[in-house]
Structure 1
Amino acid sequence: MELQTAPSEEPEFEEEPQEVSLSRAFGGQSILRDLFETLVLTLIIFFVVNALTGRFQVRGSSMEPSLHSGQYLIVSKLSYRLGEPQRGDIVVFEPPNGTGEDYIKRIIGLPGERVEARDGAIWINGYRLEEPYVASPVPYTGSWQLGPDEYFVLGDNRANSSDSHSWGPLPAKN
């Protein structure tokens, strides 16, 4: 008869932890490459956004109640390269009176139109313009015939705005 012995129950030992360098754990230069790629991508996005948009701050009350002094706007630089300005668009431009400061106004009259300010309202080619964004009646009178490359721009706060009613039509190039 043969005696069988029970298998020995020796405790199993795990391998001792080894130190692993970051470069070996993450594939060598991987971290530096990832950081570099992230930085390059961030810079590309920054320059593209700056090339396609402009940031402006509203100064003054000429566009109230639509825009208020201190508000910031992000404006597309491509809009009018892809299409023509439309009545009602709010635009940022350099005024023809050369103040060196950008103005923010609303397009009211389009090239070739006749704009009139009378009876507390704006009239385009003899038709009264509905302007729900204006809080008070137009306090001035006048009549302007726009040329083929001119726009008529007004602030929404008609009583407190330096705009086309005071310095005339805005050339399209502005």
Structure 2
Amino acid sequence: MYFAIFMLVILLVSGLIWLLDILILRKKRQASALGEVPDPWYVEYSKSFFPVILLVFTVRSFIVEPFKIPSGSMMPTLLAGDYILVNKFTYGLRVPILNNVFYPIDKPKRGDVFVFHYPPDPSIDYIKRVIGLPGDQIQYRDKQLTINGKVVNLDFIAPYKYALNVNDESGSSRAVDVTASRLTEQSGTIKHDVLIHDIMNQYSPGSLGDRLMQGETVTVPEGEYYAMGDNRDNSSDSRVWGFVSEKHLVGRAFFIWFNFDQWRRIGQSIG
């Protein structure tokens, strides 16, 4: 969000300088000189920057925006270090910065991998998978997801080993090798893999995670979505901080365009 604000400021400033030069400043320079007068440096920079910034700002705001995956909460679908593209118009065209929809197109579907503004701090962007739609009744107990009374089947694939960064008693971070079970899950029309660990998560009293662990059935409110990470036992998601409001939606992730460490991931679609 801060980068978008910065780009908007530069866009407005450079555009205003260029416009003032066309309407006022250029005429004054020409009137006070006998020959051709070169543009001042600030006008030259504005004329050069404005079209480029306008193009980039338009593409990032309304068409597609790049993001980098910072953590392993969406493993094995997305890995830390993946650079992805997010479709910005799938869930409707939105006013930059304010994020209000001015041209509705579609809404998130169950199984979508979507980017949104983190509900407790909208200046931060998060990525998870859409699990529950408005009106859905959700249960999640003993690692088993149930939606509207229908159990979501999990088909075991194989053990999945990866390095997990943990903090020791001194606060230093170190990598620990862990093993999870890799399973296939069907979310709507999308079939994807998830990771399940042999651990029992703890949630704050009253949180969605705590209520679900107690056996409660949670109903997704209108205009909101229930989100979970594919790395089910290593994800801060709706179980921790609640539902995702439509006003916080950014777009749908659809493509991995780069990864410095794993080149074979380049070009993979996200589903």
TM-score, normalising length: structure 2: 0.45
> C-alpha displacement at 1:46, in angstroms?
4.3
> C-alpha displacement at 1:45, in angstroms?
5.5
> What's the counterpart of residue 125 of structure 2?
102
Matched, 1:50 2:60: yes
Matched, 1:86 2:109: yes
Matched, 1:147 2:147: no
More helix by share: 2
> What's the counterpart of residue 138 of structure 2?
115
For 1:164 and 1:126, locate their aligned partners in 2 and report how far apart those are by CA, in whole Å: 19
Q: 4+ residue stretches of structure 1 with deviation over 2 A?
A: 42-51, 137-141
Amino acid at match of 1:148: E
Contact 1:120 1:137 in 2 (8 A): no
Matched, 1:133 2:207: no
Which secondary structure state, in structure 2, belongs to the residue aligned with residue 50 of structure 1? helix
Amino acid at match of 1:133: D
If asked which structure has higher relative contact order (CA below 8 Å, sep 6+), I would say 2
Contact 2:195 2:233 in 1 (8 A): no
Number of equivalenced pairs: 135
What percent identity do the matched residue pairs reach? 37
> What's the counterpart of residue 17 of structure 1?
none
Amino acid at match of 1:62: S
TM-score, normalising length: structure 1: 0.69
> C-alpha displacement at 1:119, in angstroms?
3.3
Contact 1:87 1:108 in 2 (8 A): yes
For 1:90 and 1:56, locate their aligned partners in 2 and report how far apart those are by CA, in whole Å: 13
Larger radius of gyration: 1
Q: Which runs of 5+ in 1 are unaligned?
A: 1-38
Deviations 1:114-145 (A, max 9, x none): 11102321111111124141122695560321
Query: Over the residues paired in the alignment, what is the CA RMSD in angstroms?
Result: 2.4
Amino acid at match of 2:196: S
- Does the C-alpha gap of structure 1 residues 47 and 102 become closer, same or farther in structure 2, counting only changes over 3 Å? closer
> What's the counterpart of residue 20 of structure 1?
none
